[in-house]
């Protein structure tokens, strides 16, 4: 017989590593230990099960052909032994033995190995707050969690739900709660939605989407305690608010399961088990991957924690290759993510502007707005894109996208540029596919790259909406020049007295008469394509202080006045 491989963890990385190894080395003896009752299931589909998009929980277990991925499937199809409800309790590295316990019978197993794979995953964070163990406080990580939450949503006595945290999983679950006709309050300790994914100046459409549907959002305020007799009845915030509820969804992140590795004497960092490029731990006979390890950020070169199913599966393949002697490597991640809330698509890759500045980069960032396909094609949708780059080198650092428009091909394009350490020039040169039903002739991502080039080359000055609002609040003498058509202005406008309306087509003729030379002039339109053009016109006419507002009204999150 071939080498003996024990895999601890049976959801994503572990089964992938085992299956890859068996394809390359059929003689290997492989055993997977999973302490839960299910293996190789689509945990990322759980929010969609709650919302009814996935009709049955079994669909998250089945293969695309409808065959359950259970221990029988793994033995019959892949010649892999799977032991469910079996917990690995210790690793004897000297004797190369895993000590495990079958949870239903209590039987102790001693499993020898030539190589060991740790795919122990992560666990939801449950902070040690007063009342945290009350009934009715849920997390969402396993199929059992999904089933329990689905049953709770069907309970008519549960009317008020508090969601703690406003990250990716929380957003996807909020839509399911809304469909179940629950009254929802969201409590997020940081100051805007998706705070680790998006910058504040991109996240405002999320807040609007939630509030427009009657969902209350409490930002910048954490939870202090949960109150109730046997079941949760109230959430107490750090600001002293008391929020009545019959259910809480706790969604404040996950922690890597590293206790087994640490007790075995393996090197563990603050973000997870430490591994090399081959995903070997500090013991050359033990590999680790998935949510239990720290990865390397390809942008900064620093350790990063990225608990994503896509990354876990890639880890599994690399581990399987190496177990079979192929010397495969996993270089790192650029932290690409995508999600949806109602009609909004949200995507991010690379560093946020906030994080890039904290890391000391000479940051230049640009916001652009536009349509995801040709403007004359029915069904085109708006999209907001923010690009972040290093001004000194021109290197792309990250991107964020939000709107009803198509984000996936655009965020994947930036992710590919990030992985190749590309610059804004490289991104601008990417040959984006074009046909009117799919994209405009100049893709919005290309527009974002060009606008960033303009800033790096200092060809034009621009401000983001937050910066414009700060100028107004400080009482600076600035003129906001709205160059939209009269019909557009009638529909919606910024209600400030320092706004001057001159349609772009009349700007050359009226600028010298209508605009003061001594004041700074910031031009804008719906998306600021015309705003940019207006700034260039004013500069050519000799106005000394001109700029445009990035993203135009589409990116303006503050007061607006709507016509009839």
pLDDT tens-place string over residues 178-188: 999 999 999 99
* The CATH number of domain 337-456, selected from 1.20.1280.50, 3.30.70.920, 3.10.180.10, 3.50.50.60: 3.50.50.60
Burial code (b: 16+ CB inside 10 Å, e: under 16) for 107-145 equals eebebebebbbbbbbbebeeeebebeebebbbbbbbbeb
Percent residues over pLDDT 90 in the chain: 98
- Write a three-state SS string for 164-225: ECCCHHHHHHHHHHHHCCCEEEEEECCCCCCCCCCCHHHHHHHHHHHHHCCCEEEECCCEEE
pLDDT for 123: 96
54-70 CB burial, b ≥16 within 10 A, e <16: beebeebbbeeeeeebb
Confidence of residue 564 (pLDDT cuts 50, 70, 90): low
Three-class SS state of 316: helix
Catalytic residue among 44, 173, 292, 339: 44
Residues in the chain: 564
Long-range contact pairs involving 498-504 (C-beta distance under 8 Å, separation at least 24): 498/472, 504/530, 504/533, 504/534, 504/537
Token readout for 321 is 């290759």
At the topology level, CATH places domain 462-562 in Oxidized Rhodanese; domain 1 (3.40.250)
**104-120 pLDDT, tens per residue?**
999 999 999 999 999 99
Q: Is the dihedral of CA 187, 193, 195, 197 positive or negative?
A: positive
- pLDDT tens readout for residues 20-43: 999 999 999 999 999 999 999 999
- Share in percent of the chain as helix, strand, coil (round to 5): 30, 30, 40
- Tell me, what's the pLDDT at 328? 96
Cα distance between residue 214 and residue 527, in whole Å: 28
Confidence of residue 160 (pLDDT cuts 50, 70, 90): very high
Judge: domain 137-252, CATH 3.40.50.300.
no
pLDDT above 80 (res 1): no
Token digits for 8? 């601890």
SS3 per-residue string spanning 456-470: HCCCCCEECHHHHHH
Across 215-263, the runs of DSSP E, i.e. the strands, are 216-219, 223-228, 232-237, 242-244, 247-250, 254-256
- Cβ neighbours for 277, distance < 8 A, ≥ 6 positions apart: 329, 330, 331
Q: What is the mean pLDDT of the chain?
A: 95
Domain ranges in the chain are 4-43+54-122+255-323, 137-252, 337-456, 462-562
44 in catalytic set? yes
With 90 as the cut, is the pLDDT of residue 53 above it?
A: yes
Comparing C-alpha atoms, which of 439, 356, 367 is closest to residue 392? 356
Distance, in Å, from the CA atom of 160 to the CA atom of 181, rounded to the nearest integer, reads: 9
CATH class of 4-43+54-122+255-323: alpha beta
Residues 215-224 have a mean pLDDT of: 95
d(CA 241, CA 437): 49
Of the pLDDT bands very low, low, confident and very high (cuts 50, 70, 90), residue 460 is confident
For residue 534, pLDDT over 70 is answered with yes
Give the whole-angstrom CA distance, residue 523 versus residue 536: 10
Mean pLDDT of 205-215: 94
pLDDT digits (tens, 9 = 90+) for 115-147: 999 999 999 999 999 999 999 999 999 999 999
pLDDT in tens, 406-416: 999 999 999 99
Quick check: 89 pLDDT over 70?
Answer: yes
Is 137-252 in the same CATH topology as 4-43+54-122+255-323? yes
Confidence of residue 434 (pLDDT cuts 50, 70, 90): very high
16: pLDDT confidence band, cut at 50, 70 and 90? Answer: very high
The DSSP result for 112-132, as a single string, is: E-SEEEE---EEE-----BTT
Residue 459 has pLDDT above 90, yes or no: no
Number of H helices, E strands in the chain: 16, 34
Virtual CA dihedral for 72, 77, 79, 85, nearest 10 degrees?
Answer: -30
């Amino acid at each position: 017989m071939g080498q003996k491989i024990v895999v601890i963890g049976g959801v994503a990385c572990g089964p992938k590593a085992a299956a890859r190894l068996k394809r390359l080395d059929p003689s290997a003896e492989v055993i997977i230990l999973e302490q839960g009752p299910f293996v190789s299931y689509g945990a990322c589909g759980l929010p969609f099960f709650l919302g009814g998009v996935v009709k049955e929980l079994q669909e998250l277990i089945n293969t695309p052909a409808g065959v359950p991925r259970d221990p029988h499937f793994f033995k019959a199809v892949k010649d892999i032994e799977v032991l469910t409800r079996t917990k690995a309790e210790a690793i004897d590295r000297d004797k190369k033995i895993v000590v495990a316990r079958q949870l239903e019978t209590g039987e102790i197993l001693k499993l020898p190995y030539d190589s060991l794979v740790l795919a122990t995953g992560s666990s939801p964070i449950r902070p040690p707050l007063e009342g945290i163990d009350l009934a009715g406080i849920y997390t969402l990580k396993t199929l059992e969690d999904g089933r329990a939450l689905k049953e709770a949503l069907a309970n008519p006595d549960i009317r008020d739900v508090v969601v703690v945290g406003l990250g990716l999983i929380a957003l996807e679950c909020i839509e399911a709660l809304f469909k179940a006709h629950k009254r929802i309050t969201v409590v997020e300790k940081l100051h805007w939605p998706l705070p680790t994914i998006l910058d504040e100046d991109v996240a405002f459409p999320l807040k609007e989407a939630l509030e427009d549907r009657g969902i209350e959002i409490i930002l910048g305020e954490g939870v202090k305690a949960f109150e109730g007799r046997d079941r949760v009845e109230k959430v107490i915030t750090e600001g002293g608010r008391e929020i009545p509820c019959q259910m809480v969804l706790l969604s404040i992140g996950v922690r890597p399961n590293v206790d087994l590795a640490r007790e075995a004497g393996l090197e563990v960092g603050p973000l997870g088990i430490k591994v090399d490029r081959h995903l070997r731990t500090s013991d050359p006979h033990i590999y680790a991957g998935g949510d239990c390890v720290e990865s390397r950020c390809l942008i900064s070169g620093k350790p990063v924690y990225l608990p994503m199913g896509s990354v876990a599966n890639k880890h599994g393949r690399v581990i399987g290759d190496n177990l079979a002697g192929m010397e495969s490597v996993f270089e790192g991640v650029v932290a690409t993510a995508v999600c949806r809330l109602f009609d909004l698509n949200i995507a991010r890759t690379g560093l946020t502007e906030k994080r890039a500045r904290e890391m000391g980069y000479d940051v230049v960032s640009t916001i652009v707005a536009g349509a995801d396909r040709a403007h004359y094609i029915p069904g085109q949708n708006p999209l907001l894109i923010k690009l972040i780059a290093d001004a000194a080198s021109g290197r792309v650092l990250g991107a964020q996208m939000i709107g009803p428009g198509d984000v996936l091909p655009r965020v994947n394009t930036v992710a590919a540029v990030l992985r190749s350490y590309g610059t804004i020039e490289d991104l601008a040169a990417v040959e984006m596919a074009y046909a009117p039903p799919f994209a405009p002739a100049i893709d919005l991502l290309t527009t974002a790259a060009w606008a960033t080039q303009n800033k790096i080359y200092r060809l034009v000055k621009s401000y983001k909406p937050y910066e414009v609002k700060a100028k107004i609040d400080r009482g600076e003498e600035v003129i906001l020049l709205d160059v939209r058509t009269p019909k557009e202005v009638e529909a919606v406008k910024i209600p400030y007295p320092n706004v001057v309306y001159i349609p772009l087509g009349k700007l050359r003729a009226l600028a010298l008469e209508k605009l003061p030379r001594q004041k700074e002039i910031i031009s804008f339109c719906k998306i600021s394509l015309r705003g940019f053009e207006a700034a260039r016109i004013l500069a050519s006419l000799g106005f000394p202080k001109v700029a445009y507002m990035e993203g135009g009204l589409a990116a303006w999150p503050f007061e607006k006045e709507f016509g009839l």
